[in-house]
Amino acid sequence: MNDTQLIGVLNQKGGVGKTTSTTNLGHALARAGNRVLVVDLDPQSHLSPSLGLFKAPRRGSHEWLLGEAPLSELVVHTRENLSLLASGERLREFEEMPGSAAQRARLLQAALQRGHEGYDYILFDCPPSSGLLVANAILAVDEILVPVTGDYLSLNGLAHLLLTLKRFEPFRDRPMEQWFFLSRFVARRRLSKEVAERLLKHFPERVLATPIREAAALAECPAAGRTIFEYRRSSNGAADYSNLARDLVERRMMA
């Protein structure tokens, strides 16, 4: 039995904090003693500089998906218990590859079956799109983690995502857990509170307990190539991501 938890960080709307959350949640889980791999499935390649690799590896997710190299040859160990599979230079070619879309949508499944032992958690940073890379994640992961910002457009994007997930349900061989959390949250804003209330109404027992508060430090981290725990350990952002990691592990939900 495979004990690795495969988690896609997914929202088809941009700017909701997917890469920020993959980076900092991954490091929070690693700091708690878990062996964590973060995988960049976004051709924009923002995960590498967020972890301090400003000259990103040339090979990465594309080569792994196509079986051109094993995972062990492609990962970079960035921190204690935390490794990275970068997107690589060729991932942007993935959507235009020839061949059956149905077959290409299962390449991540096949890559995982070839071996990914040694990790407790693998987090996939997914692109803000509805393309084949997102399809690969939806078909391969055990659960998805959806950051939702406190604004009207974020709710619209969430509705689109749910339709996409429903469309893929018949093609999955097992049910997929869905978890939501509030990101870039400003408690004093009325709209933020309304979004939280609507999430809780529509997804009871599915919203993780800790909202990630809007913070300048979280926005500044990638330029420094550090996670929030390295950049500002005593900040709200560090506390929030530590608590969010506990929420995920212990299944603590917002009341």
pLDDT at 22: 98
Percent helix / strand / coil, the chain, rounded to 5: 45, 15, 40
Give the Cα separation of 101 and 44 in Å (integer): 22
Residue 1 has pLDDT above 60, yes or no: no
Please state the pTM of the whole predicted model. Answer: 0.96
Closest CA to 39 of 15, 14, 57: 57
Q: What is the mean pLDDT of residues 89-109?
A: 91
Token digits of residue 141? 């992961």
Question: Where does the pLDDT of residue 160 fall: very low under 50, low under 70, confident under 90, or very high at 90 and above?
Answer: confident
The CATH code that applies to domain 5-250 is: 3.40.50.300
Question: Where does the pLDDT of residue 2 fall: very low under 50, low under 70, confident under 90, or very high at 90 and above?
Answer: low
pLDDT at 156: 78
Which tens digits make up the pLDDT trace of 223-234?
A: 999 999 999 999
Q: Where are the chain's structural domains?
A: 5-250
